[in-house]
Every structure is written in structure tokens, then in C-alpha cells.
């Protein structure tokens, strides 16, 4: 419902036209077309290897050799990747950071790459990390951090320059329950401020709850696009079920069943010796 | 130290800006990289309490390295002395040596810096241009280079200060700095050519072999040329005699000295070439950053992405499947328990695929013959003379023991890996004695690298020296094995691929240990050589001449029986040490890891 309103009122902030990308012979993305409007949270989902990360990496300016046309806030990505990067905050799936640094040092470094003034970096760093409960860890080296602590620093580093568009790839991984609540609240705040969030995840229940619009891709192509209600089409299926229906040809239950029965079969027919 | 270097590097920031870099970003990147260098990561299984102690050690080693570089620098003064302080020709030699040595160092050591894709997720999504990234890498390498070059050129600097006065002393660093740019350009140009030539995705493998070939090439040229050039021919050295030298950038740098030194002799009509010395480094740097950087960064991304996306293509082919079955059979045969088998198989497979491992170990195969001829040619005789006289002497003993190099390189690197964190599996698995895993890993290295190489060398030895040397081959094999197991037990007792790759920096302790082990090797090899020499005293300089007391037949018998004793003793020691390695438990492993 809300989607139609946006289409009438606003220019899309991200326009993707005929986007394709191959790795050698393997097709990663096959003719993707997508319009994304400001102030929306887009749940971008799909099975492993469907092309989610490739899309996200193209938007973040990491992959630059693709075919097709991508416009971000009216800027052509191929022509001015630097301007696009300034508007985007990218939170990658793996918490790759220079973990020999302290959060303060690392975030100062990132801030400098965006030409933020030192005082601003400092104040944002302290405020953002404090809200994640990392105030006491601000001057400790990250190589001793837990996965969740790293993830918090990673999220902070993606939001530090106050980007218009935020791309999150599995942002909740490793976070404890309290931090999950903070991130979910953060998503709503960002949305309220008119920012666009591109949210990639495998956690269907979270996607279902936070997203204004869900885009499902499989084998490099969009197979479903709409609000959760639109995807349900009057059925009462959960997103998980819809996902399975659209992306699995064989019966899912049979697969999991056969996985679980491996040990049972071994006990019943002890052909292989095991220790 | 770093702060000073960073300051110096950022001095010509106007120049960097013209090259297309963003100064603030450039400085931020360099600062972070240098900061990280000073912080050593904790290796897996180490507790945090170690941190402080190690930090201190580190500082001490920085100075130690610089001190050693200074001593090496004294070596570089030699061509200047040999050429009787002829400014231009002496310095041409000096610069050429420097360029050679540093290009060599950079190709092997800084490949990882230049083609690092680890910060892909950190730098590439941020608004940083390709040129900035490229320049940050080049300057980062340059800081390293300066850290080596400065202490190494100090002795020559002093010499020039003494003979040329204050002008010379002041001027000395200028051409040296220009030379650093040339080295930087040479290395990056070579890498960029490689990136262009190789298909994306395969380029890291191609690069790997390229590096190996180059390091062997440089090593061979370096070793052999320094032998072949007869110092006596320098006596009447005149610039005129080496006309071709004017085509080399190092000569141009040397001609710079005509600016401050009126007595400097140059080739007729080449005085203007000093201008080239200034122009060439900057034009080449400009070309690198301006034209090659985007292609460079793009192929880096491409190579990395295609690696990610094509795991299917890396699938093992049908023939490797067969060899894998063979590998499992060997693992069964050579190891008694499952922990050892696991260590054996893991080490075998990992060393076949790890680029870094190959990079470090494979050149050593080539170093052995190069070293061998280098030692033989020390007398100054020509290659053909050496070749003809080869079968007469006891040179094969030296050759056989040189193979130590191969197994040493191999075992030195099996404990290290980029993915050292993956070593958690050992700790979570029900491994009773980690020593079993280590012993399995050692066996894999022995079977995979040492055995075939030793077989090849032995075949060569038998062909040249005749079948009678087979017994010596066996003794040498046992001795080298004993020696390498001792090293493994004493200074390299860690689980395979469990440590972060880094320069060993426990300072003095390492030096003492290295000297100790070398002493052991020397004792083993020289005892062997002496026993061989007993039988034919005229060929060997390392032995007692007993020919006055016994006839030749008796001498042969005595030599043989003593060699047999040596073999038996070595075998017993080998068994004991290996057993002790195998029985390493968790407690002693932890202790050993702290001392590495």
C-alpha cells in the first residue's frame, strides 16, 4: 500500500536497469531491474549464491565492471563512483576491519577517509559506541573483541558519515539480544529520517517484521517483489514458507528429513564402522 | 621512527596531490598501516599476558635490524674502495648493487603489500580513488625501504663525507632517494605487467611462479657475478672501458655527482645524463600512478572476486583424485595413529595450495645447485674447469648437506599460515598428544620435499662420483633428518599452520639458537667429511692423514667402520629426538609456543 504512495510522490533514490554480472561463465546477476524509494527499508533476500552480495557490492562501488545502468540519488554509478560512495554506508557481511587498532583509532581512520572533521568523528564515535555499550572498550584493541563487539564497531563505521543510503548485509549476526533491539530501533529511526536501508539477511522473521518491501532473488533474477502482504497473496504463509516455495523445486521437508535420518539409518543398518 | 618517516614521506605532499592523491586520506591510510605494523597480533593459543613483554622485545628488534643493516652497509662500501674512490664508476656500482638487492627484497617480501586485497571491504566502499590507494601502497613500501636503505647507506655516506667534504656529505642522500624511486617503479611495473598478462583469477598463481623465478634469477646472478668479477681487473679501472654503462639509470644517478664534484670523471658527452637521473624516477612514478593504478586496482578486485565466485572451478581434477588416494595410502603407511595421519594429510594438502608457502620454499630447490657452484668457484676458476675437476674431490659431501636447506625452509614455514585462527580445531578436537600431529606434519614435509629432492641429488652424485658414494648418501640423509628433527623439536615446536606469519623477532634468543643448530650441523657434516677423507687423505683438507700408519686397504676399512658407527649413532639420536617430538603434550606445547 505504502509503496504506491511513494511511486506517485517521489523520485526513486536507487534505479537499477538491466543489471547483469558474470564471473567467467557463471552468471551472478541476470538483468535486474529495481526502483528503490527514499525512506524505505528494503528486505533483500535469496538463497546462498543467488546474487545478493554481488548486487550489494555493485551498489557499494566495490565491483565496478558490470553491465547495465545504476543511478544512485540521480548520480550514475559508473560515471561518478566516488560521489555515490559518499552517500552510501556499507556494512559488509564479514566484519573485516583492521582489528589491531582500537575502535577509536579505526573510526578516526574511517572518518578521515570521508573527510569528516576530527571533533565530529570524535563526538560521533563516543556517542555511537556508548549507545552500543562499548564505551569502556573504546581504547582497547579489537583483536580481543567478541564477534558481537566487532559487529557493533562495524555498524558504527558504516554509519559514521551519516549516509543517505545504508546497505546492511546480515547486520545482526553475532549480536546479543539487547544489541538486536538497538539495531531494530536504529532501523526505524533511519527510516523516519527519510533514509533508505537496503537490508540483506537470511533471517526471514526479522526481514518480515522490519521491511517495507521485500525483494526476493534467486539465480540472479528477481522472483518476487512487494510488501509482505502482497507476497502472501491472501494466504497466511510466513515469509519463510513463501521463500521456500519460490526458491526450492523439490520438497523442502524431504530434504531436511533425509538429513536428520542419516544417523538413524546408520544405527538401523550398521554398514560403516564408526568410533 | 615511524612518525619521522611519515612526516618525511608527506613532505612532498604537493607532488602527491599532483599525482592525483587525496592528501588527507593518504595520510590517514599510511598512519593506520604503520600503526598496525607496530602491533603484533597474538598468535593462537597465547594468552594476553604476553602482550607487554613482547612489545618490549619488538622495539629492541627494530634496532637490531637496523644495526645489522648498518653492517651490511659496510659491505656496499667495497666497490667504492675497489674502484679506488672513483666517484662515478664506484657509485654506479654502489647504486646498482642497491637496486639489485632491494628489487630482490621487494619482489619476495612486498608482493603481499602491493597486491593486498584484505582491505577491499574497508577501503573500496569508501570514497577513495584508485590513485590514492595505489600511492598509499607505494609510499608504504617506500617507508619500509627507507628504513632499510638509510642505515645501509650510512657507511658509504661516512666514506663520502670524509673524501668529498661537507658538500659530499650533504649531497649523498639525494641520488640515494632517487634510486629508491627507481626501485619502487621497477617493482610495481613488473607486478603491473604481470597483472596485464595473466588472466584475472589466475594471476596470483602466475605471480607466484614469476616471483620464484625472479628470486632465483637474482640470487644466481648476484652470487655468481660477485664471484666471476675478478677484483684484480678493477685495478686499471676507467670509465671508458665500460661504455655500455651509460644506458643504466644507476649510471645517471652517479653522474649527478658532477654537480658538486669537479673531479668526477664521466664518459665523454654524458654529463647531461644527470638530468635524466632526476626526470626518470619522477616520470616513472607519475606514469605508474596515473596510468597503471586504475588497471591495477581493477584487476585486484577482479582476481579476488573471481576466486570467490568460482569455487567449483578449483575442483580437483581426475588425476589429482588418484594422487589423493595415494596420499591417503601413504598417510596410513607412515603414521601409526589418527592424529599423526591428520597432521600428515593436512600439511601435505595445505603446502600444495598455499601460495605463501610455495613462494618461500620452492626457491630453495634452486638455491642448492647455485650455492654448490658458488662454493666450488670460490677459487676463482672458470665453470668448465670446475666441472671437469668435479668427480675427483669430495665435493659431493657438500652438495648432499646443502639439501638441508630444502627441508629447513619447509619445516620453518609449516607452522605459519594466514589463517592461523583456524587452528582452533586442534584445541577442540580430542587430540591427546599434539606432538603426534606435529610429527605427522614433519613426516609429510620429509616425504614430500626432502625425499624426492635428495633422490635427485643422489642420482646426480652417483652419476658423477660413482656408486661407491651410496653409503655416504645414506649417512647424509640420516644426519640431515636428525638435524631437521632437532630444529623442529627445539625451535619450531608448534602445531601446523597455527601461527601468524611474521618475521621472527625474539631477537638475541633466536640468534643463539640459530648459531647452536648451525654448530650441530657443522659437527655432523665435518665429521662425515673427515671420515670420508680418511680413505683418501690427498683429496680432503678436513682430516687426519693416517697414510703413514696404514695402507690404503686398511684406511678404507677404518673409514667405512667409523662411518657405520656415525650412522648408527645418528640413527639412535634421530629415534630419540623424534620420539620426544612425538610425545609433546599440551603443556609443553604451550610452553614451547611462547618461546618461538
In chain A, residues with a C-beta closer than 8 Å to the C-beta of B306 are: 23-24
pLDDT band at A16 (very low <50, low <70, confident <90, very high): very high
Query: In the Cβ-directed half-sphere of B520, how many Cα atoms lie within 13 Å?
Result: 18
Interface test with A, best of B6, B21, B30, B32 (most A CBs within 10 A): B32
pLDDT of residue B428: 72
**A24 vs B123: CB contact, 8 Å cut-off?**
no
d(CA A40, CA A161) in angstroms, rounded, equals: 19
Q: What are phi and psi of B470, to 5 degrees?
A: -55, -40
In chain B, residues with a C-beta closer than 8 Å to the C-beta of A144 are: 42, 48
Q: How far is CA B271 from CA B254, B264, B265, in A?
A: 10, 10, 9
Q: What is the pLDDT of residues A56-102, one digit of tens each?
A: 989 988 888 889 999 999 999 988 888 898 899 999 888 778 877 88
B1-28: average pLDDT: 84
**A113 vs B313: CB contact, 8 Å cut-off?**
no
**Chain A contact for B518 (CB, 8 A cutoff):** no
pLDDT band at B431 (very low <50, low <70, confident <90, very high): confident
Q: What are phi and psi of B354, to 5 degrees?
A: -75, 120
pLDDT of residue B36: 79
Read off the DSSP letter of residue B242. Answer: -
In chain A, residues with a C-beta closer than 8 Å to the C-beta of B126 are: 85, 110, 113-114
Pick B508 or B316 by higher pLDDT. B508
B274-301: average pLDDT: 77
- Bridge partners (DSSP) of residue A169 are A200
Which member of B24, B48, B309 has the closest CB to residue A23? Answer: B309
d(CA B338, CA B331) in angstroms, rounded, equals: 9
Which member of B28, B302, B312 has the closest CB to residue A109? Answer: B28
**Chain A contact for B120 (CB, 8 A cutoff):** yes
Order of all β-strands in the sheet with A67-72: A26-36, A14-23, A67-72, A75-76
d(CA B27, CA B10) in angstroms, rounded, equals: 7
In chain A, residues with a C-beta closer than 8 Å to the C-beta of B201 are: 24
Q: What count of CB pairs under 8 Å joins A to B?
A: 89
ipTM: 0.70
Q: For chain B, give the percent of residues with pLDDT over 90.
A: 10
CB count, 10 Å around CB of B184? 23
Is residue A150's pLDDT more than 50? yes
Mean pLDDT score of chain A: 84
pLDDT band at A199 (very low <50, low <70, confident <90, very high): very high
B201-229: average pLDDT: 64
Ranges A227-236, B33-42, B467-476: which has the least confidence: B33-42
Q: What is the pLDDT of residues A234-264, one digit of tens each?
A: 677 778 888 877 777 655 556 666 777 788 7
Q: What is the DSSP string of B350-374?
A: HHHH-HHHHHHHHHHHHHHHHHHHH
pLDDT of residue B308: 42
B532-561: average pLDDT: 71
pTM of the predicted model as reported, rounded to 2 decimal places:
0.65
Ranges A165-174, B264-273, B427-436: which has the least confidence: B264-273
Nearest CA in chain B to A116: B24
A168-189: average pLDDT: 87
pLDDT band at B104 (very low <50, low <70, confident <90, very high): low
A104-123: average pLDDT: 89
In chain B, residues with a C-beta closer than 8 Å to the C-beta of A90 are: 125
**B35 vs A112: CB contact, 8 Å cut-off?**
no
In chain B, residues with a C-beta closer than 8 Å to the C-beta of A108 are: 28
CA distance A38 to chain B (A): 21
Is residue B52's pLDDT more than 50? no
Do the strands A196-200 and A165-169 form a parallel or antiparallel pair, or are they unpaired? Answer: parallel
Is residue A186's pLDDT more than 70? yes
Which member of A57, A101, A143 has the closest CB to residue B32? Answer: A101
Pick B248 or A132 by higher pLDDT. A132
Interface test with B, best of A28, A55, A113, A118 (most B CBs within 10 A): A113
**B127 vs A101: CB contact, 8 Å cut-off?**
no
Q: For chain B, give the percent of residues with pLDDT over 70.
A: 69
Nearest CA in chain B to A166: B125
pLDDT of residue B446: 94
pLDDT of residue B131: 84
pLDDT band at B540 (very low <50, low <70, confident <90, very high): low
In chain B, residues with a C-beta closer than 8 Å to the C-beta of A143 are: 41-42
Is residue A152's pLDDT more than 60? yes
Query: In the Cβ-directed half-sphere of B47, how many Cα atoms lie within 13 Å?
Result: 3
Ranges A204-213, B119-128, B378-387: which has the least confidence: B378-387
In terms of phi and psi (left: phi > 0; alpha: psi -120 to 50; beta: otherwise), the region of A174 is: left
- Residues contacting residue B407 through CB under 8 Å, at least 6 positions apart: B445, B446, B449, B450, B480, B481, B484
d(CA B410, CA A29) in angstroms, rounded, equals: 43
Is residue B481's pLDDT more than 90? yes
- Residues contacting residue B62 through CB under 8 Å, at least 6 positions apart: B1
pLDDT of residue B570: 92
**B313 vs A143: CB contact, 8 Å cut-off?**
no
B465-473: average pLDDT: 87
Interface test with B, best of A23, A75, A161 (most B CBs within 10 A): A23
**B302 vs A144: CB contact, 8 Å cut-off?**
no
Nearest CA in chain A to B48: A144
pLDDT band at B502 (very low <50, low <70, confident <90, very high): low
In chain B, residues with a C-beta closer than 8 Å to the C-beta of A26 are: 309-310, 312
CA distance B201 to chain A (A): 10
B413-438: average pLDDT: 81
Nearest CA in chain A to B306: A23
Ranges A74-78, A111-115, A141-145, B2-6: which has the least confidence: B2-6
**A26 vs B25: CB contact, 8 Å cut-off?**
no
Asked if residues A3 and A212 have their Cβ atoms less than 8 Å apart, the reply is: yes
Is residue B541's pLDDT more than 60? no
Whose CA is closest to A172, among A185, A160, A191, A190? A185
Pick B560 or B514 by higher pLDDT. B560
Residue ranges of chain A whose CB lies within 8 Å of a chain B CB: 23-24, 26, 28, 57, 60-65, 82-83, 85-86, 88, 90, 92, 94, 96-98, 100-101, 105-106, 108-110, 112-115, 141, 143-144
**B305 vs A63: CB contact, 8 Å cut-off?**
yes
pLDDT of residue B62: 57
**B121 vs A62: CB contact, 8 Å cut-off?**
yes
pLDDT of residue B85: 63
Q: What is the pLDDT of residues B56-73, one digit of tens each?
A: 445 555 566 667 667 767
Amino acid at each position: 500500500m505504502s509503496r504506491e504512495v511513494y511511486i506517485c510522490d517521489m523520485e526513486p533514490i536507487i534505479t537499477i536497469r538491466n543489471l547483469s554480472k558474470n564471473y567467467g561463465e557463471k552468471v551472478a546477476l541476470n538483468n535486474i531491474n529495481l526502483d528503490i524509494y527514499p525512506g524505505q527499508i528494503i528486505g533483500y533476500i535469496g538463497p546462498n549464491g543467488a546474487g545478493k552480495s554481488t548486487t550489494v557490492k555493485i551498489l557499494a562501488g566495490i565491483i565496478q565492471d558490470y553491465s547495465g545502468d545504476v543511478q544512485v540519488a540521480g548520480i550514475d554509478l559508473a560515471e561518478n563512483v566516488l560521489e555515490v560512495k559518499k552517500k552510501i554506508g556499507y556494512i559488509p557481511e564479514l566484519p573485516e576491519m583492521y582489528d589491531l587498532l582500537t575502535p577509536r583509532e579505526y573510526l578516526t581512520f574511517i572518518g578521515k577517509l570521508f573527510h569528516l572533521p576530527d571533533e565530529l568523528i570524535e563526538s560521533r564515535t563516543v556517542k555511537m559506541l556508548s549507545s552500543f555499550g562499548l564505551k569502556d572498550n573504546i581504547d582497547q584493541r579489537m583483536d580481543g573483541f567478541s564477534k558481537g563487539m566487532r559487529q557493533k564497531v562495524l555498524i558504527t563505521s558504516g554509519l559514521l558519515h551519516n549516509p543517505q543510503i545504508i546497505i546492511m548485509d546480515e547486520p545482526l549476526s553475532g549480536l546479543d539480544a539487547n544489541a538486536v533491539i538497538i539495531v531494530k530501533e536504529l532501523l526505524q529511526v533511519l527510516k523516519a529520517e527519510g533514509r533508505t536501508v537496503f537490508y540483506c539477511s537470511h533471517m526471514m522473521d526479522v526481514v518480515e517484521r522490519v521491511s517495507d518491501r521485500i525483494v526476493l532473488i534467486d539465480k540472479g533474477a528477481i522472483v518476487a517483489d512487494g510488501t509482505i502482504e502482497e507476497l502472501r497473496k491472501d494466504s497466511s504463509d510466513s515469509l519463510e514458507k513463501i521463500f521456500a516455495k519460490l526458491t526450492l523445486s523439490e520438497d523442502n521437508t524431504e530434504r531436511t528429513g533425509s538429513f536428520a535420518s542419516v544417523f538413524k539409518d546408520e544405527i538401523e543398518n550398521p554398514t560403516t564402522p564408526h568410533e | 621512527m615511524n612518525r619521522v618517516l611519515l612526516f618525511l614521506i608527506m613532505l612532498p605532499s604537493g607532488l602527491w596531490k599532483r599525482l592525483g592523491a587525496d592528501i588527507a586520506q593518504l595520510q590517514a591510510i599510511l598512519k593506520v598501516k604503520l600503526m598496525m605494523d607496530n602491533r603484533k597480533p597474538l598468535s593462537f593459543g597465547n594468552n594476553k599476558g604476553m602482550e607487554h613483554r613482547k612489545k618490549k622485545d619488538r622495539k629492541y628488534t627494530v634496532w637490531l635490524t637496523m644495526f645489522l643493516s648498518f653492517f651490511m652497509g659496510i659491505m656496499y662500501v667495497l666497490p667504492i674502495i675497489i674502484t679506488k674512490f672513483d666517484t662515478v664508476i664506484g657509485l654506479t656500482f654502489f647504486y646498482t648493487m642497491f637496486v639489485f638487492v632491494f628489487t630482490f627484497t621487494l619482489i619476495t617480501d612486498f608482493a603481499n603489500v602491493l597486491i593486498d586485497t584484505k582491505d577491499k571491504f574497508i577501503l573500496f566502499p569508501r570514497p577513495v580513488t584508485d590513485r590514492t590507494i595505489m600511492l598509499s601502497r607505494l609510499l608504504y613500501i617506500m617507508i619500509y625501504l627507507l628504513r632499510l636503505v638509510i642505515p645501509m647507506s650510512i657507511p658509504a655516506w661516512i666514506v663520502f663525507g670524509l673524501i668529498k667534504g661537507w658538500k659530499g656529505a650533504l649531497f649523498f642522500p639525494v641520488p640515494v632517494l632517487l634510486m629508491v624511486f627507481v626501485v619502487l617503479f621497477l617493482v610495481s611495473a613488473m607486478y603491473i605487467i604481470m597483472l596485464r598478462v595473466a588472466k584475472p583469477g589466475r594471476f596470483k598463481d602466475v605471480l607466484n611462479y614469476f616471483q620464484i623465478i625472479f628470486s632465483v634469477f637474482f640470487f644466481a646472478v648476484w652470487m655468481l657475478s660477485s664471484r666471476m668479477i675478478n677484483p684484480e681487473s678493477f685495478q686499471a679501472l676507467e670509465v671508458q672501458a665500460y661504455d655500455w654503462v651509460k644506458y643504466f639509470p644507476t649510471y645517471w644517478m652517479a653522474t649527478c655527482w658532477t654537480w658538486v664534484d669537479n673531479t668526477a670523471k664521466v664518459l665523454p658527452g654524458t654529463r647531461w645524463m644527470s638530468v635524466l637521473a632526476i626526470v626518470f624516477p619522477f616520470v616513472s612514478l607519475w606514469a605508474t600512478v596515473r596510468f597503471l593504478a586504475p588497471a591495477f586496482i581493477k584487476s585486484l578486485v577482479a582476481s579476488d572476486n573471481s576466486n570467490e565466485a568460482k569455487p567449483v572451478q578449483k575442483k580437483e581434477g581426475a588425476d589429482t583424485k588418484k594422487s589423493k588416494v595415494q596420499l591417503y595410502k601413504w598417510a596410513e603407511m607412515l603414521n601409526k595413529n589418527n592424529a599423526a595421519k591428520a597432521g600428515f594429510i593436512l600439511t601435505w594438502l595445505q603446502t600444495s595450495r598455499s601460495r605463501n608457502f610455495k613462494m618461500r620454499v620452492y626457491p630453495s630447490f634452486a638455491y642448492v645447485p647455485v650455492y654448490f657452484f658458488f662454493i666450488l668457484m670460490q677459487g676463482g676458476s672458470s665453470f668448465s674447469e670446475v666441472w671437469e675437476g668435479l668427480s675427483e674431490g669430495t665435493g659431493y659431501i657438500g652438495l648432499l648437506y646443502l639439501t638441508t636447506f630444502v627441508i629447513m625452509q619447509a619445516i620453518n614455514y609449516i607452522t605459519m599460515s594466514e589463517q592461523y585462527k583456524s587452528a582452533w580445531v586442534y584445541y577442540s578436537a580430542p587430540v591427546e598428544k599434539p606432538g603426534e600431529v606435529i610429527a605427522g606434519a614433519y613426516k609429510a614435509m620429509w616425504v614430500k620435499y626432502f625425499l624426492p629432492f635428495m633422490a635427485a641429488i643422489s642420482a646426480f652424485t652417483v652419476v658423477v662420483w660413482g656408486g661407491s658414494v651410496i653409503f655416504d648418501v645414506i649417512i647424509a640423509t640420516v644426519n640431515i633428518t636428525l638435524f631437521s628433527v632437532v630444529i623442529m623439536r627445539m625451535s619450531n615446536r608448534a602445531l601446523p599452520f597455527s601461527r601468524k606469519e611474521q618475521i621472527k623477532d625474539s631477537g638475541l634468543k633466536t640468534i643463539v639458537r640459530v648459531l647452536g643448530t648451525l654448530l650441530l650441523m657443522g659437527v655432523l657434516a665435518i665429521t662425515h667429511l673427515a671420515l670420508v677423507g680418511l680413505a683418501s687423505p690427498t683429496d680432503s683438507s678436513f682430516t687426519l692423514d693416517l697414510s703413514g700408519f696404514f695402507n690404503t686397504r686398511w684406511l678404507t676399512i677404518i673409514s667405512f667402520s667409523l662411518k657405520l658407527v656415525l650412522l648408527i649413532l645418528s640413527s639412535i639420536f634421530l629415534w630419540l629426538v623424534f620420539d620426544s617430538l612425538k610425545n609433546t603434550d599440551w603443556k609443553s606445547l604451550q610452553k614451547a609456543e611462547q618461546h618461538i
